[in-house]
Amino acid sequence: MGENIVLMSKRELEKMRRVGRLAAKLLAHLGKMVKPGITTYELNEEAERWTRAHGARSAPLGYGNPPFPASICTSVNEVICHGIPSKDQVLKEGDIINIDVTPVLDGYHGDTSKTFFVGTPSPTAKKLVEVTRECLYRGIRAVKPGARIGDIGAAIQEYAESHGFSVVRTFVGHGIGRVFHAPPQIPHYGKRGTGRILRPGMVFTIEPMINEGTWEAEIAEDGWTAYTKDRKLSAQFEHTVAVTEDGVEILTLNDDEDPNVILQR
Ligand code: MF3
Ligand code: CO
Ligand code: CO
């Protein structure tokens, strides 16, 4: 049988809403700093400062083995995910950068990420990023009680591949709450009608990583940084969502995102 999936109470969901809003605000704040000339180290420093100033802590710092050495992930161009901020990494015109934040407030995690343009993107980068954002939205639209986990991945995979892009297999969405990475796994590929049935109170992330070329990943010597095998571009967007009685609630919604636009079926 499947692993135990936590169903959240109203009280717990309220805590997830609070940390979700905080995560979205942090991500928007960091996004405004993205410009040619800034280092990923400076983004990380500001993330840590802002998170503490808001009474939260950064889940990534010290997470896993080897312990992740920073407060956010900054994944530039051919980095799929888990990029480590560095003083040596200066953003330049035309780069794309995914910033992934996970503050913890009152014991609950809010996990969200977005890919930003540094200056003006190439047509390919622009297309990849737009398709990846729509992949996330289509994945979210597949969420409702009675649907299955495979419905989410199928919606994402069909859209990505119809644009000639590929879906990363190595990393998946995940249950989240008191724990950063909990069951169930949410693959961003798959078959409709397969996998666990979604129930009200389930809370998980959807975080498609979509590649320009091959879906295959390669992990660097540092134990974290994941590159595309062919060193072509990769983009990612992530939201934390809750299954409700009649559909889905996006817990990490940004001010510039209209839920009615995202959720229209
Ligand atoms: N935030 C990432 C995710 O979406 C996980 C980062 S793990 C870290 O699941 F240690 F690199 F922070
Ligand atoms: Co996540
Ligand atoms: Co994340």
What confidence tens digit (pLDDT) does each residue in 13-53 have? Answer: 999 999 999 999 999 999 999 999 999 999 999 999 999 99
In one letter, which amino acid is 154?
A: A
Percent of the chain predicted with pLDDT > 90: 96
**Burial classification of residue 197, based on how many CB atoms lie within 10 Å of its CB (0-12 exposed, 13-18 middle, 19 or more buried):** exposed
Residue nearest to atom 11 of ligand 1 (CA): 82
Ligand nearest to the CA of 113: 3
Atom number, ligand 1, closest to the C-alpha of residue 181 = 9
Give the pLDDT score at 264.
84
Q: Is the pLDDT of residue 1 over 60?
A: no
Task: Say how many C-beta atoms besides its own lie within 10 A of residue 66's C-beta.
Answer: 10
Contact of 81 with 75, CB cutoff 8 Å: yes
As a whole number of angstroms, the distance between CA 260 and CA 121 comes to 28
What average pLDDT does range 252-260 have in this prediction? 92
- Distance set, CA 107 to CA 72, 79, 110, 203 (Å): 18, 30, 10, 15
What average pLDDT does range 49-64 have in this prediction? 98
The single residue listed with the structure tokens 């995940």 is 174
Tell me which of 48, 111, 136 to substitute to probe ligand 1's pocket, judged by most ligand atoms within 8 Å of the beta carbon. 111
As a whole number of angstroms, the distance between CA 258 and CA 140 comes to 13
Ligand 1 pocket check for 207: Cβ under 6 Å: yes
In which region does residue 167 sit, left (phi positive, over 0), alpha (psi from -120 to 50) or beta (all else)?
Answer: beta
Q: Is the pLDDT of residue 265 over 70?
A: no
Give the pLDDT score at 69.
98
Task: Say how many C-beta atoms besides its own lie within 10 A of residue 93's C-beta.
Answer: 12
Ligand nearest to the CA of 223: 1
Ligand 1 pocket check for 173: Cβ under 6 Å: no
Distance of CA 72 to the CA centre of its chain: 12
What confidence tens digit (pLDDT) does each residue in 111-147 have? Answer: 999 999 999 999 999 999 999 999 999 999 999 999 9
What confidence tens digit (pLDDT) does each residue in 179-213 have? Answer: 999 999 999 999 999 999 999 999 999 999 999 99
Give the pLDDT score at 223.
98
Q: Is the pLDDT of residue 240 over 90?
A: yes
